[in-house]
C-alpha cells in the first residue's frame, strides 16, 4: 500500500523511518517532508495550510494513497481529516471537533473540570471581559503566585506564560487582549494555578472506541541546561521513564486518560489518532497539564525506536475505527534524543547554514539522526528552521545511550548550533 505522511519535522521523519520498515508499504510519500525524509520517501513541496487541502487531495488521488497520517496539529485543527474523509480517503488523526482537545484550551479545561479529571483550577476570560480579568487578577493573593495564563488556541508553544507576580500577570494579559500578541488564538484565555512537579508524556493510539497507550517519555521544554531560559518546542527526550512505578502509571491512566476518553465519548466525540496527555506529577499525584491531538515531538523520536511491532497495522486499525487487541512490545533498551537547534532559537531561527558530519554518522549502529528543520541545497544539507536535527541513541543503559548520542553530536556542525548537554542526565544512573 502507499502511505502519505503530512508534516516536515523530526516526528514525521521518525514516523517515516518506522513505517518504511513495514512489509505492508509499497511506496512512502511526504508533504512537504524535509532533507532527511526525502531519503526514504517521495516528498512534494505543498504547504499544509487549509488553502492547500485541495492540492493535498489531488496528490493523494494521483498517487493512489491508501492511508494518510497527519503529523502536525494545525491541519488537524483546521479539519484536514474531515475534508479528506468526506472525499473517501483513510486518514490517521482526529477530526476537527476532536482536535479541539489541543485547539482549544478552554474546551479541554472545561471538559476536565466537569468530569473531575485532576487539573489545575482555572478561570476563563474573553477579550470582551478585559475589566473582569483585571479585577480577577487584582483579587489574587500575591503569596499564591505563580499563576499561568494560556491562549485558548494554537500558539506553537509560545501561548503559555508563567507569571511570578500580579504585575507580570497583568502585563501578560495586556499582551493577549490589548497588544493582540497571539491574534485569534488569544481572544480567549485561561488563567490557572501553577502546579510544580515533573512532566510526563503519555501518547495513546485511539480508534474512537478504545485506546492503546505507548510507552512513556519525558520531554525537555526549556532551551538551556538545568531547565533554564525560554520555552521551546522540545530540546530533547528519553524513554522509558524509570521513576514512574505501576501505581503512578495506573493513576495517570485511570484518573486522567481513560476518564477523558470516556468524557469525549459522552460528548459524542469520536476520538481517533493520537491522544497525547501532558501530565505533571506533584507528590505522587498526576494532574493534566494539556492534551495534544497528535504525536509528540521529540517524544515520538524516543518511543518509536523502542517499538518492536510493525506500526502500520495499528495506524490502519485506528483510522478504520477497528483497533484489534494488539499487544505492543517494547525493547528494554533506553533511548535518548538530543535536539540540535539553529542560531537564535527559540526567538528566531537561522536558515541556510550548511550542516556537516551527517555522512559520518550514517554508519553508526544505534544512532538515528532524524531531520527536523533541514532542506537540500544542491548536494548540501542546510538548516531550515529552529529545531534542525534530532540525534537519537539507543543502548542498554541511559548512560551508554547518552555517551553514544553526544559522541555522534561531536561530529555534526553548523553555524550557531545549540543543544542541551543534560538530556537524560538525571536518569543516567538508573538501569
Ligand atoms: N513535546 C511537546 C509537543 O510535542 O508539543
**CATH code of 50's domain:** 3.40.50.20
Task: Give the pLDDT score at 52.
Answer: 97
Task: Give the pLDDT score at 196.
Answer: 95
Residue 268 DSSP SS3: coil
- pTM reported for the whole predicted model: 0.96
Task: Give the pLDDT score at 281.
Answer: 98
Q: Could you tell me if residue 107 is inside a domain? A: no
Burial bucket for residue 238 (CB in 10 Å: 0-12, 13-18, 19+): buried
Cβ of 292 closer than 6 Å to ligand 1, yes or no, is yes
Cβ of 299 closer than 6 Å to ligand 1, yes or no, is yes
Nearest to 279 by CA among 304, 296, 264, 265: 296
Looking at the structure, do residues 309 and 341 belong to the same domain, yes or no?
Answer: no
Looking at the structure, do residues 132 and 188 belong to the same domain, yes or no?
Answer: yes
Cβ of 297 closer than 6 Å to ligand 1, yes or no, is yes
Task: Name residues whose C-beta falls within 8 Å of residue 325's C-beta, 6 or more positions apart in sequence.
Answer: none
Task: Give the pLDDT score at 268.
Answer: 95
Q: Could you tell me if residue 328 is inside a domain? A: no
CATH number of the CATH domain containing 416: 3.90.600.10
How do the residues of the chain divide into helix, strand and coil, expressed in percent and rounded to 5? 35, 30, 40
Cβ of 73 closer than 6 Å to ligand 1, yes or no, is no
Task: Give the pLDDT score at 429.
Answer: 86
Q: Could you tell me if residue 105 is inside a domain? A: no
Q: Could you tell me if residue 312 is inside a domain? A: yes
Ranges in the chain, pLDDT < 50: none
Burial bucket for residue 247 (CB in 10 Å: 0-12, 13-18, 19+): exposed
Last-in-domain residue among 271, 290, 320:
320
Atom of ligand 1 nearest to the CA of 298: 1
Domain region containing 398 = 335-430
Task: Give the pLDDT score at 290.
Answer: 96
Looking at the structure, do residues 298 and 356 belong to the same domain, yes or no?
Answer: no
Q: Could you tell me if residue 183 is inside a domain? A: yes
Looking at the structure, do residues 68 and 141 belong to the same domain, yes or no?
Answer: no
Rounded Cα distance, 230 and 319, in Å: 36
Last-in-domain residue among 320, 354, 375:
320
Task: Give the pLDDT score at 157.
Answer: 76
Task: Give the pLDDT score at 191.
Answer: 98
Residue 296 CA, ligand 1 centroid: distance in Å: 4
Atom of ligand 1 nearest to the CA of 219: 1
Last-in-domain residue among 295, 320, 345:
320
Looking at the structure, do residues 132 and 34 belong to the same domain, yes or no?
Answer: no
CATH number of the CATH domain containing 272: 3.30.470.20
The number of distinct structural domains making up the chain is: 4
Q: Could you tell me if residue 325 is inside a domain? A: no
> Looking at ligand 1, which residue's alpha carbon is closest to its atom 4?
296
Looking at the structure, do residues 265 and 279 belong to the same domain, yes or no?
Answer: yes
Q: Could you tell me if residue 112 is inside a domain? A: no
CA distances (Å), 255 to each of 85, 152, 341, in order? 32, 24, 36
Task: Give the pLDDT score at 362.
Answer: 82
The gap from C-alpha 411 to its chain's centroid, in whole angstroms, comes to: 27
Looking at the structure, do residues 207 and 184 belong to the same domain, yes or no?
Answer: no
Q: Could you tell me if residue 330 is inside a domain? A: no
Looking at the structure, do residues 424 and 344 belong to the same domain, yes or no?
Answer: yes
Looking at the structure, do residues 371 and 424 belong to the same domain, yes or no?
Answer: yes
Cβ of 234 closer than 6 Å to ligand 1, yes or no, is yes
Cβ of 219 closer than 6 Å to ligand 1, yes or no, is yes
Atom of ligand 1 nearest to the CA of 292: 5
Cβ of 296 closer than 6 Å to ligand 1, yes or no, is yes
Looking at the structure, do residues 248 and 362 belong to the same domain, yes or no?
Answer: no
Looking at the structure, do residues 305 and 376 belong to the same domain, yes or no?
Answer: no
Q: Which of 76, 299, 303 maximizes ligand 1 atoms within 8 Å of its Cβ, making it the mutation to test the pocket?
A: 299
Q: Which of 76, 223, 292 maximizes ligand 1 atoms within 8 Å of its Cβ, making it the mutation to test the pocket?
A: 292
CATH number of the CATH domain containing 185: 3.30.1490.20
Q: Which of 73, 203, 298, 341 maximizes ligand 1 atoms within 8 Å of its Cβ, making it the mutation to test the pocket?
A: 298
Looking at the structure, do residues 234 and 290 belong to the same domain, yes or no?
Answer: yes
Amino acid at each position: 500500500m502507499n502511505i502519505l505522511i503530512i508534516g516536515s519535522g523530526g516526528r514525521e521523519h521518525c514516523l517515516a523511518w518506522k513505517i518504511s520498515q513495514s512489509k505492508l508499504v509499497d511506496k512512502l510519500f511526504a508533504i512537504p517532508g524535509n532533507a532527511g525524509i526525502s531519503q526514504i520517501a517521495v516528498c512534494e513541496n505543498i504547504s499544509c495550510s487549509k488553502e492547500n487541502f485541495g492540492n493535498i487531495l489531488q496528490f493523494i488521488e494521483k498517487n493512489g494513497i491508501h492511508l494518510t497520517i497527519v503529523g502536525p496539529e494545525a491541519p488537524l485543527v483546521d479539519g484536514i481529516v474531515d475534508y479528506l474523509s468526506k472525499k473517501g480517503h483513510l486518514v490517521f488523526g482526529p477530526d476537527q471537533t476532536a482536535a479541539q482537545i489541543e485547539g482549544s484550551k478552554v474546551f479541554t479545561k472545561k471538559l476536565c473540570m466537569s468530569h473531575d479529571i485532576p487539573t489545575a483550577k482555572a478561570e476563563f476570560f474573553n477579550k470582551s471581559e478585559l475589566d473582569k480579568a483585571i479585577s480577577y487578577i487584582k483579587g489574587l493573593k500575591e503569596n499564591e503566585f505563580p499563576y499561568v495564563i494560556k491562549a485558548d488556541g494554537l500558539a506553537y508553544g509560545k501561548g503559555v506564560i508563567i507569571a511570578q507576580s500580579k504585575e507580570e500577570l497583568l502585563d501578560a494579559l495586556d499582551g493577549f487582549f490589548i497588544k493582540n500578541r497571539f491574534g485569534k488564538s488569544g481572544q480567549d484565555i485561561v488563567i490557572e494555578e501553577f502546579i510544580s512537579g515533573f512532566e510526563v508524556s503519555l501518547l495513546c493510539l485511539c480508534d474512537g472506541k478504545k485506546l492503546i497507550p505507548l510507552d512513556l517519555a519525558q520531554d525537555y521544554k526549556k532551551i538551556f541546561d538545568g531547565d533554564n531560559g525560554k520555552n521551546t518546542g522540545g530540546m530533547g527526550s528519553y524513554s522509558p521513564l524509570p521513576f514512574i512505578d505501576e501505581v503512578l502509571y495506573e493513576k495517570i491512566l485511570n484518573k486522567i486518560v481513560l476518564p477523558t476518553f470516556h468524557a469525549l465519548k459522552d460528548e459524542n466525540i469520536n476520538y481517533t489518532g493520537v491522544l497525547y496527555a501532558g501530565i505533571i506529577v506533584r507528590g505522587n499525584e498526576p494532574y493534566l497539564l494539556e492534551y495534544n491531538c497528535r504525536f509528540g515531538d521529540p517524544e515520538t523520536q524516543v518511543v518509536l525506536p523502542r517499538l518492536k511491532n510493525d506500526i502500520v497495522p495499528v495506524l490502519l486499525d485506528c483510522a478504520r475505527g477497528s483497533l484489534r487487541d494488539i499487544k505492543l512490545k517494547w525493547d528494554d533498551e533506553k533511548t535518548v534524543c538530543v535536539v540540535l537547534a539553529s542560531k537564535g532559537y527559540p526567538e528566531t531561527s537561522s536558515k541556510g547554514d550548511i550542516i556537516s558530519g551527517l555522512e559520518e554518522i550514517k554508519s553508526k549502529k544505534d544512532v538515528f539522526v532524524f531531520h527536523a528543520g533541514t532542506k537540500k541545497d544542491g548536494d548540501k544539507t542546510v538548516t531550515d528552521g529552529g529545531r534542525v536535527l534530532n540525534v537519537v541513541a539507543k543502548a542498554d543503559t541511559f548512560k551508554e545511550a547518552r555517551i553514544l548520542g553526544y559522541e555522534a553530536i561531536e561530529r555534526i556542525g553548523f553555524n550557531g548550533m545549540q543543544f542541551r548537554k543534560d538530556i537524560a542526565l538525571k536518569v543516567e544512573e538508573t538501569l
